[in-house]
Amino acid sequence: EDQVTQSPEALRLQEGESSSLNCSYTVSGLRGLFWYRQDPGKGPEFLFTLYSAGEEKEKERLKATLTKKESFLHITAPKPEDSATYLCAVQDYKLYGGSQGNLIFGKGTKLSVKP
């Protein structure tokens, strides 16, 4: 069964304190891994797509990396405005183009950055 596990559930950082969020997954065949950011009471905002092990994507203070079993979202020198819940989702080749739901979401990591 496909699974996506994110850790930690919650992370509190001081402004400027770099850290990483983890997304581990179990799928038959990974077609893509996606990171989203969600602010309270709002819809998720798409951040990155990663397709193959070794791939990296960057946007401002965020960098996403991918291995064969997990992805990391590295946050460098975070600011209070980076506070949000970060969701990871995977797309399984087995489900691709089928009649079932497309994305499997993890439960998210709630990041709080204090000034």
Partner 1 sequence: DTEVTQTPKHLVMGMTNKKSLKCEQHMGHRAMYWYKQKAKKPPELMFVYSYEKLSINESVPSRFSPECPNSSLLNLHLHALQPEDSALYLCASSRGQNTGELFFGEGSRLTVL
Give residues in contact with partner 1 (CB under 8 A): 31-32, 34, 41-46, 49, 87, 89-91, 96-97, 99-103, 105-108
Least distance from partner 1 to the Cβ atom of residue 77, Å: 27
Sheet strands (E) in the chain: 3-7, 10-14, 19-26, 30-38, 45-50, 56-59, 62-66, 70-75, 84-92, 104-105, 109-114
**Residue with Cβ nearer partner 1 (16 or 29):** 29
Least distance from partner 1 to the Cβ atom of residue 107, Å: 6
> By C-alpha distance, which of 31, 6, 36, 39 is closest to 20?
6
**Residue with Cβ nearer partner 1 (24 or 49):** 49
Cα gap 50→65, rounded to integer Å: 8
Least distance from partner 1 to the Cβ atom of residue 75, Å: 20
**Residue with Cβ nearer partner 1 (55 or 76):** 55
Cα gap 109→78, rounded to integer Å: 15
**Residue with Cβ nearer partner 1 (41 or 115):** 41
